[in-house]
Amino acid sequence: MWVDPFSLRLKSPLGTAAGPITDRRGFLVGLREGEIRGVGEATPLPGWTESYEACQRTLNEVATTDATTAVEALDPTETPAAAHGVDLALLDAAAQRDSRSLAAVLRERGFDTDEPIPETVPVNATIGDGTVEETVSAVTAAVDKGFEWLKLKVGVQEPEADLTRVQAVHNAVDDGVSLRLDANGAWDRATARRLVDQLAEIGIEYLEQPLPIEDLDGLAELRGRGVDIAVDESLAATSVETVVDAAAADVVVIKPMAVGGPSRAVELAAVARDAEIKPVITTTIDGVVARTAAVHIAAAIPNVTACGLATGSLLAADLAADPVSITDGRASLPEGHGLGDGFDAVRRGGDEL
C-alpha cells in the first residue's frame, strides 16, 4: 500500500460549529494487485471522524501490510476516515478485477434485488441561511437548474424568521419540489415541538437534527407530528443501530467518511431500510475520489431518495477531474469499472512501500 497526503483549498471559508473550514486535508491510499490498482481517500473532519494526525498515524501503521489485513485491523468507530480510505481502495480494485462498477459490487453486498443499477441518482440543492430575498433567489436558481429537492439551513436565525423564510420558499416553488430543513441541533424540545407543528401546516419533507445530538428520546417524541425527523450529527455520537433501537428517526443521513467506508455505509443503509427508515447519503466536503464513491454508494441503494452529493463546487482545486456531472438535479454514475474512468493518474500515485 501507499499513502500520499494532500490539501485542497475551499473557494471560500465554510462556517461550522467548530469554526471555519478553509481547506480539506487528507490522504490518498493506493494498492496494486498485479495489473490492477485501486485508490481510496481518507479525508478526516474533526467532530465527525478522527483528527488529521490520528488518521495519518493509523494509515502509516497499516501501510506496510496488505490492504485486506489493514482493513481488518482498522476500527471504523475509532478511525473512520482511515478505514474509509483502505476500504475504498480494496473495493475499487475488486470491482475493476470483476469488470463491474463500484455501485454493482456494493449493491450485491448490501441488497438482495435484481433491479439494475441506475445511470443517475437524485441530489438535493443546499440553500444557506440568508434573508428571505436571498433564500428565495437561491431557491429559484436551483429549481431553474432542475433540482426537485431543496435543503434549507435553519436554526441560525430566530425561529419566527426561519418560519417566514420557509413559508416564502414554499410559496415560490411548485408542489413537486420537496423541502428539507436542517437545524443542526439548534433547538430545545419546546421550540422544536412548536416549530414541527407549524412546519406540518406548511408542508415539508423532513426536518434534520432539530435537537442536540444526544437527545434521541426528544427526537423520538417529535415523530408522528406531520413532519418526518432526520438525524445526522447524532450518528457521530452514536450509531444507526442505536437510532433504530430508539425509534428516533424517519430518515438517517449517512456520511461514508464518518462511518468507516463504503462497505459500512451500504450495510447501515440496509439496516435502516429493514427498519423502514430512509437512508440519505451525503459527503463531508471530500475530494473527488470520495465524492465519486459516495455517488456509487447512493446508486447501490435501490430507489434511493435524493442525496447530498453536489459539494464539489465548494473546492477551489481537486485531486482529479470530476467524472460526475450534476444535470437536472441528478448526479451521473461514471462510466467504467471500479470508481470509473478518469482515475488512472491517482491510482498510480504515491510510492509503493
Q: Output phi, psi for 313, to 5 deg.
A: -70, -10
Helices in 98-174 by DSSP H: which ranges?
Answer: 102-110, 132-144, 159-172
Query: Any residues with CB less than 8 A from the CB of 160 and at least 6 apart, and which?
Result: none
Rounded distance, CA 42 to CA 62, Å?
13
- The answer to whether 253 and 272 have CB atoms below 8 angstroms apart is no
The H-or-E segment that residue 182 falls in is strand 178-182
Q: Is 153 a catalytic residue?
A: yes
Which residue in the list 11, 145, 151, 255 is annotated as catalytic? 255
- The answer to whether 205 and 197 have CB atoms below 8 angstroms apart is no
Side-chain-facing half-sphere of 321: CA atoms under 13 Å: 8
Rounded distance, CA 78 to CA 54, Å?
10
Nearest to 299 by CA among 289, 288, 309: 309
Q: Is 255 a catalytic residue?
A: yes
- The answer to whether 125 and 151 have CB atoms below 8 angstroms apart is yes
Which residue in the list 11, 145, 151, 153 is annotated as catalytic? 153
Give the residue numbers annotated as catalytic, written as ranges.
153, 255
